[in-house]
Amino acid sequence: MKVVIRIIKTLWRKFHMTQIVILLAAVVVLAGLGAGFYFMKSADVETLKQGLSQSTIIYDRNGEKASKLSANRTDSVSIEKIPEHMQEAIVAVEDNRFYEHGGFDIKGIFRAVFTNIMAGSRVQGASTLTQQLTKNALLSPEKTYRRKIEELFLAIEIEKVYKKEEILEMYLNTSYFGNEVWGIQNASKKYFGKDVSELTLAESSMLAGMVKAPSRYNPIDHMDNALDRRKVVLNQMVKYGYISESEAAETANTEVALKDTSGDPLKGKFAHYSDAVINEAISRFGLTQDDLLTQGYNIYTSMDQDIQAGLEAVYGNSSTFPKTINGEDSQSAAVLMDPKTGGVLGIIGRRGEHVFRGFSFATQMKKSPGSSIKPLAVYTPALEEGYEPTDMLVDEKMSFGEGERPYSPSNYGGTYEGELPMYRAIEKSANIPAVWLLDQIGVSKGVNALKRFGLEVENAKLGMALGDITPGVSPLQMAEAYSAFSNDGVRKDAFFIQKIVGPEGEVKPEWKPEEVQVTSKEITDKMTSMLLGVVERGSGERAQVEGVDIAGKTGSTQVPIEGIEGTEDQWFVGYTPNLVGAVWVGVEEVSKTNYLTSNSSEGAVPLFGEIVEEILPYIGEASFDVNAIDGQAEPVEQHWYDGIVEKWNEWF
């Protein structure tokens, strides 16, 4: 112990504290340099060009490649096609010493440090074009000291392997220009509607100005900012001798015409499913769109390629869909999922030309489901309270509640039977029996059931028996809710992505799919027996497909404009023993001249039948172990002695 104390005292005498700090700093620097050299030597930068063409791959539920997310990143052009003024503009504004340094610019670093100190904040960066290329193409987007060391040394290695022209070419082909556009060729088409080789100096200098902050300087969203930034680029080009002051002044006053000929940025198949995958990867896995479109992930999904292709084939036939009152195309969306797992097998977000991550009526819409909510909000909780499918329900014109504004619903067509059995009320989609029954069991029972089915309810009232709920529902939510009927009362959370594997291994989500025991198998069997009747002889009759049992419920919402008879929304939510799906047909914005003249029985219902007919070879023929109620009591459970009793009755 005395020896240790003596050594410490000796060190203290020989080294002032400042020297010790310097020594420790040197150790850290050396360690960083060593790590940098390790990363530099272990990186295979010679495959950089090939690596730039890698896409994020989407796999189906069987692990087969189904699609890719590339965002046009592979639409690269050679440096010979890129105008010299485009090359000069990007060098002048982003890295004026590009042709002099060897990957990192020590003068630029000191200049940036001095500028930032004088300004009291970070106003200037020091990354070279080569370092930015490294960040775009080889490294993850994390901001850590380790990553900065990797960036620095990989840039040096890249400069050893590639010529300056090759580095500049790769940089321009991988840079992000805003509005989901990567690469100079795609940027040229997105903003100016032309090939990169046709760019003018006015256009090139504007594109070069975007790279620093695409969301702030792109001319589609911020033309004034883009013009101001272009002046900065032109001044830099003058400063470094690329153009004269007169050229800069003339170009600064030149107007540019915006034109978008970029088309759909997704290059792979199944764009609707890819959109849903991107949205879920962002919301549930915490990734960004840039990550997904540039980092080369492997995403394993629940997609069934045959089912997705079948959906797209049906939606490609416009004759399947009703027209609006003014003869225009109606809008529509569909979701098909596996009720046993919750995995979405296929999806169509909307009709018409695909828009990259455009609004999806399948997942983002919030609308009234009409009568398709009755099995969830009314009949399931009624069965749980002891009602039977054959029990008689009131069906006569009436009002509910007291006061100045009682609730007075009506049946479609204005006809009433006085009373009718529950199963028949469902088949006919009669409104009064549903509202009367919810009033009998209590609105709170309906709210509780809806929450178990996974639906939000902010307004507990009798009108929710007919779909009047806030904030509304999407086809995906309705398909998930109905999955409990085909899965013995268990609802599985719907999902698109099974797992994501990135450059550093599997991405772990904070979200994990859950299952909820909504109700019992006994209740779902009774519901299925009634919903089979809806398709066999009720409002869903046109959804029938030979060889497969389909149970389901229709729903329509009326045009909320006085004096107009028509529908705004049409629904059919149906299921087989191994598939559940929801389809919606409607209009984006209802008006006096934009609505549907038919109801769901003529629109959404036959559409569902067309879909099942198309994908039947891939889902297989299947039957439920219950039968539709046909006016008698439910089928009696069979016992071993039934045959003997039957013979005894025949003989005696």
Write out 288-334 in H/E/C secondary structure. Answer: CHHHHHHCCCEEEECCCHHHHHHHHHHHCCHHHCCEECCCCECEEEE
Q: Is 201 helix (H, G, I), strand (E, B) or coil?
A: helix
Q: Can you tell me the distance from the alpha carbon of 186 to that of 195, in angstroms, rounded to the nearest whole number? A: 8
**Whole-number Å distance between alpha carbons of 73 and 83:** 20
Residue 164, SS3? helix
The CA distance from 32 to 145, in Å, is 9
Cα distance between residue 487 and residue 337, in whole Å: 12
- For 232, counting Cβ atoms within 10 Å of its Cβ (0-12 exposed, 13-18 middle, 19+ buried), the class is middle
3-class DSSP assignment, residue 162: coil
298-301: strand order across its sheet: 65-69, 56-59, 298-301, 497-502, 505-507
Question: CB of 331 within 8 A of CB of 359?
Answer: no
Q: What residue has token string 């509640």? A: 401
Neighbours of 131 (CB within 10 A): 23
Residue 607 to residues 332, 359, 409, 646, Cα–Cα distance (Å): 10, 21, 28, 45
Query: What DSSP state is assigned to residue 509?
Result: P
**Six-digit token string for 179:** 């509005």
The dihedrals phi and psi of 298, each to the nearest 5 degrees, come to -110, 115
Q: Nearest CA to 377 among 462, 276, 316, 298?
A: 462
Q: How many helices (H) and strands (E) does the chain have?
A: 25, 14
10 Å Cβ neighbour count for 387? 17
As annotated, the active-site residues are 94, 371
Question: Helix, strand, or coil here: 105?
Answer: coil
How does DSSP classify residue 220? Answer: T
Q: What are phi and psi of 418, to 5 degrees?
A: 85, -55
Beta-carbon count within 10 A of 488 CB: 17
Rounded to 5°, angle at Cα 186 from 183 and 187: 80
* Residue 513: partners with Cβ closer than 8 Å, 6 or more residues away: 342, 492, 493, 495
